Structure 1
């Protein structure tokens, strides 16, 4: 995460911020939910293990962010998780994307699609990614439908893990399709933006 540790991405309805230590308790609470564990193929961790995981993510060179509603304090308004991992050291143009909407009230509102497109734009323009992958469990039909709407195609299926691998190669047509999203997303310095928040409100300014 070193390459983007101070990056904040502001979209139309969501703000993506780096995964900080103060976000860990909320994330840990989410991941005690059996449904989310199943949908994300995750094993429950202790709070101490989650803090250690956060520390390691901060020191990695891949991309991991939380998204937040800018009207309230970050740790109180987190609704999900988005990751963009650089998984192949021999192919830096490949990125694996993951999305989770943890809060039930925020599902079905188009947030996942907006966040996915924001992260894809960032990956293409800032990280030089030209191919995206998403690995999704068979029972996670919502995520499968989301990525299919984004023109991902299934390239393989693992019977052992009950998991599909979907892929999207970025060509000129996809570049044009994503071009409109770039104008709706603003990149800012996370530290400077956070420092500008008045302590009595703890609200992210929306410019």
Structure 2
């Protein structure tokens, strides 16, 4: 089992996942503030100044207990979002996954490929046993992406969050190393 200190570059047909730099802060600010991103992920906690974002993205490569990678469009090099493995539990060989894709990256399969790339890296290179995530129940597009990558619904936290005056569910999904291995062997 490796830790998360190595920050790889992962290349797919449509995307390249790469370590973040401080220079990514401006584009990520636009993505994080996109109304659709806010709707499906929630508003940021605290004020997101450019200085704060530069500090955040400029230090992602120094974090040995998480893996934050920029999602870029392979054809253009444009930064379109992020994928993150975090809340690493070395004993259980598990972590949590999250992603967000901005407006210029949606509807082209970039999020699906980015999810598959980082999940594959987690199992095949880091030796993880389990990766889990939570998504709002009304985020149908994300739930489809996660299912395509092999995640299965494990449960629903009913009315777990109050959003815009309405109670909403959190869907809990997970994937195990053996499930990923079975999917990977049939995809070849």
Partner Cα distance (1:9, 1:28) in 2: 23
Residue aligned with 2:9, SS: strand
Residue aligned with 1:45, SS: coil
Residue aligned with 2:95, SS: strand
Q: Which runs of 5+ in 1 are unaligned?
A: 184-207
When you count strand as a share of all residues, which structure comes out higher?
Answer: 2
The answer to whether the 8 Å contact 1:131/1:170 transfers is yes
> 1:170 aligned to 158, 166, 177, which one?
177
Q: Which residue of 2 is the match for residue 201 of structure 1?
A: none
Q: Which residue of 2 is the match for residue 120 of structure 1?
A: 119
Q: Which residue of 1 is the match for residue 165 of structure 2?
A: none
| Paired positions, count | 175
Partner Cα distance (2:111, 2:60) in 1: 22
**Structure 2 CA distance for partners of 1:147 and 1:70, relative to 1, 3 Å:** closer
Q: TM-score, normalised by structure 2?
A: 0.81
Q: How does 1:102-121 map to 2 (within 5 A)?
A: 102-104=102-104, 106-121=105-120
- TM-superposed deviation, 1:71: 4.2
Using the TM superposition, name which of 23-32 and 159-168 deviates more.
159-168
The answer to whether the 8 Å contact 2:135/2:171 transfers is yes
Q: Which residue of 2 is the match for residue 69 of structure 1?
A: 73
The answer to whether the 8 Å contact 2:5/2:62 transfers is no
**Structure 2 CA distance for partners of 1:169 and 1:111, relative to 1, 3 Å:** same
Residue aligned with 1:81, SS: strand
Q: Which residue of 1 is the match for residue 18 of structure 2?
A: 17
**Structure 2 CA distance for partners of 1:110 and 1:42, relative to 1, 3 Å:** same
Partner Cα distance (2:155, 2:53) in 1: 31
Partner Cα distance (2:31, 2:40) in 1: 12
**Structure 2 CA distance for partners of 1:42 and 1:127, relative to 1, 3 Å:** farther
- TM-superposed deviation, 1:170: 2.1
Instruction: Give structure 1 regions of 4+ aligned residues with deviation exceeding 6 angstroms.
Output: none
Q: Which runs of 5+ in 2 are unaligned?
A: 162-168
Q: Which residue of 1 is the match for residue 55 of structure 2?
A: 52
